[in-house]
Amino acid sequence: MKAIRIEGGQPLYIEAQEPGTDGVRIKVASSSICGSDLHMVNAGWAEGRILGHEFAGVTDDGTAVTVQPNFGCGKCHSCEQGYTAHCDEGTVYFGVFTDGGMAEYVRVPEAAVFPLPTGIQLADACLMEPLAVSAHGLNRARVTEKDRVLVVGAGPIGLAAAAILKSRGMTYDITARYEHQKQAAELLGGNTEPSGHYDVVVDAVGNTASIAEAIQHCKPMGRIAFVGTLWEDASIDMSFCSKEIELIAATTYRSVHPKGEFHEAGKALSAVPEIARALISHRFPLEAASEAFTTANNRASGAIKVAFEL
């Protein structure tokens, strides 16, 4: 089968064996590059791995699905509540700890399979996972329609948060570094000229500078939803304490569960056609692995979300 494997710090298009016989076989239709994929490659953590935790495809019986890429024992309290990322036995993460969806075929446990709602194109369904991440961040921060919200950063996760806010019928402001990000944010109804203080600030970047910006814009006793992953240590200045701000970390999501964020992600992607147009800036075949990763690594080039179509 066609696949992309990281070898010598580079994404290589290869011919690989199909995965074994355990689990549900999925013929992948779309798979996108996450910022964490780029960090793992650059840090040397992805050697020998087929990456891809944002993907969708079709099962052998013809069902269009996406995949919750982390799963646990299914029996502990965290798993029963849908928080498989916090499984007592340790979570398994497709495309991170084991081979993922940048390939023609992948096999996953049945519990990780999420049938796509009507109206979602398979080419766009790789967005379900990042949308669920952002929905989880907003839910963790207890965002309601009464809140004035700012999103710091108009990269893929920031725009995914914007998309969820739009699907909820909420107005919001958002900061954008590049012109193409500004255009994408405006397509999703965001105001790109922030002013004043906010009840909730969503930090979708994850570094010292973005934290400082979030603190600056957050009102006293307000909330910061931290959905940007820290890949290196960051510092927080004294104003965080003096303003009595609540900092709320969020990663992954409440998984395939009746109250899980994949349900909200599906509703949003189905109801708001602008989401795919705003987030997916480039599409490549697997054979163009090197070009795709080079594009994704250069935000200034116009890249937002780079996706593979199979």
Q: Quick: pLDDT tens for 100-157.
A: 999 999 999 998 899 999 899 999 999 999 999 999 999 999 999 999 999 999 999 9
Q: How far apart are CA 261 and CA 277, in angstroms?
A: 21
Q: Quick one: 20 exposed, middle or buried, by C-beta within 10 A (0-12, 13-18, 19+)?
A: exposed
Q: How far apart are CA 40 and CA 45, in angstroms?
A: 5
Q: Which of 11, 55, 7, 10 is nearest to 34 (CA)?
A: 55
- What residue type is 141 in one-letter code? A
Contacts of 221 (CB under 8 A, 6+ apart): 243, 244, 245, 246
Q: How far apart are CA 56 and CA 110, in angstroms?
A: 14
Residue linked to tokens 């498989």: 84
Q: What local confidence, expressed as pLDDT, does residue 257 receive?
A: 60
Give me the count of residues in the chain.
Answer: 310
Contact 228, 154 (CB under 8 A): no
Contact 174, 165 (CB under 8 A): no
- Helix pair 261-271, 156-167: axis angle to 10 deg: 80
Residue linked to tokens 């996706």: 307
Q: How far apart are CA 20 and CA 77, in angstroms?
A: 30
Alpha carbon separation from 310 to 1, 105, 206, 289, 303 (Å, rounded): 11, 10, 32, 12, 20
Helix (H) / strand (E) element for 79: namely: helix 77-80
Q: Which of 223, 68, 86 is nearest to 131 (CA)?
A: 68
pLDDT tens sequence for the chain (310 residues): 999 999 999 999 999 999 988 899 999 999 999 999 999 999 999 999 999 999 999 999 999 999 999 988 889 999 988 899 999 999 989 998 899 999 999 999 998 899 999 899 999 999 999 999 999 999 999 999 999 999 999 999 999 999 999 999 999 999 999 999 999 999 999 999 999 999 999 999 999 999 999 999 999 999 999 998 888 889 999 999 999 999 999 989 987 666 689 999 999 999 998 999 999 999 999 999 999 999 999 988 899 999 999 9
Q: How far apart are CA 68 and CA 78, in angstroms?
A: 15
CA quadruple 2, 117, 154, 215: dihedral sign: negative
Q: What local confidence, expressed as pLDDT, does residue 182 receive?
A: 97
Q: What local confidence, expressed as pLDDT, does residue 303 receive?
A: 95
Q: How far apart are CA 309 and CA 66, in angstroms?
A: 14
Q: Which two tokens stand for residue 103?
A: 């390939």
Phi, psi of 246 (to 5 degrees): -95, 120
The alpha carbon of 136 is separated from its chain's Cα centroid by a whole number of angstroms, namely 10
Contact 5, 76 (CB under 8 A): no
Residue linked to tokens 């600030």: 201
Q: How far apart are CA 53 and CA 38, in angstroms?
A: 12
